[in-house]
Structure 1
Amino acid sequence: MTPPPRPVAEIVWKIHRKLYAGTRGRVGRRFLGMTTLLLTTVGRKSGEPRSTALMYREEGPALAVVASNLGSDRPPAWWLNLQATPIAQVRVGPERRRVRARLASPEERDEMWPRFVEMYADYAEYERMTDRPIPIVLLERA
């Protein structure tokens, strides 16, 4: 299966993010058969809050997300924001929590990556589309 074209995916995720935020998590936690969260970071240039909806997996007490950026050679802005300021907020359904982001170790990534690909097969295609290693980011309670 081929991932959707970037403009289509960006529009769909933008609408999803607005629904998720606008309903305070009552709508949007499940999307395309996957669980999603709403991540709010501090913009590294603007200092303003920036939100994005992401698919996630629970990995022990952490929430794990993939910084794929649809297979782009550029990392997603949210990951760059977290590298500048690792403290963020997530909404999982109606629940909000403060988190600290950290990059999964190579060993952790090797263990988790197949589970992410099983959950969402397009991740394997995204990995083929780029030369950059696609990070897995762990969001741990702060």
Structure 2
Amino acid sequence: MSENTEFNSDDLIADRNALDQINRQVVDEFRANGGKVGGPFAGSDLILLTTVGAKSGQPRVSPLVYFEVDGRILIAGSFGGSPKAPAWVHNLRAQAKVRAEIGTESFDAEARELPRGERDSLYPRVVEKAPQFGEYQAKTSRAIPLFEITRA
């Protein structure tokens, strides 16, 4: 993604094709630059998560911001505070085995959705690191799920 690319997450959620195009650009830039990207994700810790489509059975690559909390890798299914979860959440709930890429490293992993109590205790730590995730939670009535990614 170029430094000048700007987007509104609400617009992207409504336009699946635009979201897919942005995600492909982020994935390409991530892989070309050893896990570093510019634009709105510059300086963020990104993980590429390859899941298996719950309906299609096809591999799906999602570039996601991750949070290291107490040595754990956490990802949040915020979808910008949309009332529905992103597709990758449904994929993880159907199949927890994933492929993860962080920087130049690629590894097999497993995703575990945190139970509500554990999620509720850790979500404020995510918000400390990225305050917009507090705004996302405030926009929706669903509890934004947290997943822990662990090496297989």
Shorter-normalised TM range: 0.7 to 0.9
2:106 maps to 96
Alpha-carbon distance in 1 for matches of 2:41, 2:34: 12
Of 22, 25, 28, which residue of structure 1 is paired with 2:37? 28
Deviations 1:5-52 (A, max 9, x none): 42358465442123124x273433993322111000001111111001
Matching residue's letter, 2:37: G
1:7 maps to 11
- Overall identity of the aligned pairs, in %: 32
Alpha-carbon distance in 1 for matches of 2:11, 2:45: 22
Alpha-carbon distance in 2 for matches of 1:70, 1:122: 9
Unaligned residue ranges in structure 1 (runs of 5+)? none
Structure 1 residues 14 and 115: CA distance shift in structure 2, 3 A = farther
More off after superposition, 27-36 vs 58-67: 27-36
SS class of match (2:144): coil
Whether the aligned pair in 1 keeps the contact of 2:35 and 2:46 (CA below 8 Å) is: no
Deviation at 1:124, TM superposition (A): 1.0
SS class of match (1:134): coil
Structure 2 length-normalised TM: 0.79
Whether the aligned pair in 2 keeps the contact of 1:25 and 1:91 (CA below 8 Å) is: no
Structure 1 residues 24 and 87: CA distance shift in structure 2, 3 A = farther
Unaligned residue ranges in structure 2 (runs of 5+)? 1-6, 14-18
RMSD value, Cα: 2.4
Whether the aligned pair in 2 keeps the contact of 1:34 and 1:119 (CA below 8 Å) is: no
Alpha-carbon distance in 1 for matches of 2:124, 2:71: 19
2:16 maps to none
Deviation at 1:57, TM superposition (A): 1.4
SS class of match (1:34): coil
Count, aligned residues? 139
Alpha-carbon distance in 2 for matches of 1:34, 1:5: 16
Deviation at 1:131, TM superposition (A): 0.7
More off after superposition, 70-79 vs 107-116: 107-116
Structure 1 length-normalised TM: 0.84
Mapping of 1:1-142 within 5 angstroms? 4-7=8-11, 10=19, 12-21=22-31, 23=32, 25-28=34-37, 31-142=41-152
Which structure's relative contact order is higher, taking Cα pairs within 8 Å and 6+ residues apart? 1
